[in-house]
Structure 1
Amino acid sequence: MIPARVITVSDRCHAGTAEDLSGPLAARLLAEHGVEASVTVIPDEVEAIRAAITSAAASGVRLVFTTGGTGLSPRDVTPEATEPLLATRIDGLADAIRRRGEENVASAALSRGLVGVTARSDAGALVVNAPGSRGGVTDAVAVIGPLVAHIIDQLAGGDHPRA
């Protein structure tokens, strides 16, 4: 199993006024792809998001999957918190997640979520910013899930598969 952390970014869930539906869903869907993830809930605050991602990567997880905070509201700051932590961005995957969502919901194009890799001194961790909706999480895992083992292998210096 690939060790991972799901980080739900939500003021309401953190305060206990709403139930976290997207984080547990992400963990369940990722498990279908060989990923074992714990779920953490934090508020929509840049420093809290950065600390959670940094702590997760430092703990040895290979995938940090955030859910929430990728929209346009003033409290949606997950991409701003994530960007300085990424040594390498994987814009093609972020775009693929948006395209997948647009098949069902036009507003999926508004997601500003990033995908990338943290500093690679120790192979790095893959970071995925997914929207906070259950549909957004489902779309993100549908794109990332089939690739996650290959990505983690590549980060560790693995060879490309031969046809």
Structure 2
Amino acid sequence: MSDELHDVLCSVITVSDRASRGERKDTSGKAIADALKSVGADVEHTVVSDGVDSVLGALRASTATGARVVITTGGTGIAPRDFTPEATASIIARPIPGIPEMLRRVSGESVPTAALSRGIAGVTGGPINAIIINLPGSLDSAKAGIETILPLLPHMLSQLDGGDH
């Protein structure tokens, strides 16, 4: 693959109580980070516990360091502590509903439970706009998700920076 995101700062945030406590290996976050690195991105990767406050804190920290792309993995389902979409909604200024619709459609072809994902996507406001996309926490869904959105990211960043459509 080419270096389509060469020198773009990207942040991967794994949302998992078990991974944050060291009880489970973070495979989905690593897969997403590896995919972003494969196209030249500079990648920061953090693991946080489930819940609005922890996710919101990680999102704010990522955008404060200048990340232009923030991908979360985990916390998008209907479990009692799955609040990644709610945290994301509080930081985005403009939603991009087509991204999660596409992700659910693509994943739903092989995994019917993809319909349970509540992940969202959008653009932050402020002096440096960032794209935030929620992916599911399962390894297979995270891999399918990053493969689906990776080709779109350079065009999305170009548009954010005032490029032509």
What TM-score comes out, normalization by structure 2 length? 0.92
Q: Is the 8 A contact 1:6 1:66 kept in 2?
A: yes
- 2:89 is the alignment partner of 1:83: yes
Give the distance between the partners of 2:105 and 2:41, measured in 1 at CA: 23
The amino acid of 1:17's aligned partner reads E
Aligned residues: 159
Tell me the equivalent position of 1:142: 147
Tell me the equivalent position of 2:53: 47
1:99-110 equivalent positions in 2, closer than 5 A: 99-110=105-116
Structure 2, unpaired ranges of 5+: 1-5
Write the deviation string for residues 89-114 of structure 1: whole angstroms up to 9, x where unpaired. 00001100111101110001110000
Write the deviation string for residues 44-67 of structure 1: whole angstroms up to 9, x where unpaired. 021110010011011111001000
The amino acid of 1:11's aligned partner reads D
Helix, strand or coil at the partner of 2:107: helix
Tell me the equivalent position of 1:37: 43
Write the deviation string for residues 72-92 of structure 1: whole angstroms up to 9, x where unpaired. 101111001110111010000
Shift of 1:34: 3.5
The amino acid of 1:133's aligned partner reads S
Structure 1, unpaired ranges of 5+: none
Q: Is the 8 A contact 2:66 2:128 kept in 1?
A: no
The amino acid of 1:30's aligned partner reads L
Show structure 1 runs of 4+ deviating over 4 A: none
Helix, strand or coil at the partner of 1:66: strand
1:65-144 equivalent positions in 2, closer than 5 A: 65-119=71-125, 121-144=126-149
Give percent identity, aligned residues only. 43
2:161 to 149, 156, 159: 156
The amino acid of 2:157's aligned partner reads I
